[in-house]
Amino acid sequence: LLDVVHDRANGCPLFIECVARWALEKKMIEFVEGSKKMSLKMLDERSDDVTAAIPRELSNILLAPFNKLPPPLWDVLKIASCIGYSFDADLYSTLNQVLDFMPRIRELSAKYDCFEQTGSHFRWKQQAVYEAVKSLLMVNQRQKIHRMIVRAFEQSKINHIDDIKGG
């Protein structure tokens, strides 16, 4: 078991921890009676290849809890990854009009423990999750998200100027 996990982890302790937690959740680790050994059992009894069951990348394990997120929450995760590792809720409240951004960030924080909040400041709880979400986006997808954020700020500025003129 140790050799298989170590080979796949390529020396990354976080990966080893995540694989061990993943295997426990899948009930793949069994303790051998009468000894101090553990073994990794397959999910599929027809196969003897233990390494096939272990995810190849850390991102697969880190993102597994989010696999069943509804698309709007996935979109907010992707947008947050484009904004950066940390951001101010007051500054990005302009995205609420279009995307209901901050309420969804708060939902992701409460239900999925994605973000830590200090006052109006949010930051990703785990750097590795931030990097994994960010890695899902192609360059053109990131550019599209950045353009959408800029348009939201521009529209907010226009609305603010109109409010000042009208008031």
Name which residue leads in pLDDT, 130 or 46.
130
pLDDT at 70: 94
Kindly report the number of other CB atoms within 10 A of residue 49's CB atom: 9
Mean pLDDT of the chain: 80
Give yes or no for a contact between 104 and 112, defined as CB atoms under 8 angstroms apart. Answer: no
Q: What is the pLDDT of residues 26-76, one digit of tens each?
A: 777 777 777 777 666 665 555 556 566 666 677 777 788 888 899 999 999
pTM of the entire predicted model = 0.67
Contact 94, 102 (CB under 8 A): no
Cα–Cα distance between 152 and 149 in angstroms, integer?
A: 5
Answer for the pair 67, 136: CB distance below 8 angstroms, yes or no.
no
Q: What pLDDT was estimated at residue 164? A: 57
- pLDDT over 80 (residue 82): yes
Using an 8 Å Cβ cutoff, are 136 and 75 in contact? no
Of residues 81 and 26, more confidently modeled: 81
Residues paired with residue 39 on neighbouring β-strands, in sequence order:
30
Summarize pLDDT for 1-20 with one digit per residue, the tens: 567 667 766 666 767 777 77
Report the alpha-carbon distance of residue 96 to residue 80 in Å, rounded: 13
Q: List, for residues 99-120, the tens digit of each pLDDT value.
A: 889 999 999 999 998 999 999 9
| pLDDT for position 111 | 92
Is 90 exceeded by the pLDDT of residue 124? Answer: yes
- From the number of C-beta atoms within 10 Å of its C-beta (0-12, 13-18, 19+), residue 124 rates as buried
Q: pLDDT class for 78, splitting at 50, 70, 90?
A: very high
What pLDDT is recorded for position 108? 94
Q: pLDDT band for position 24 (50/70/90)?
A: confident
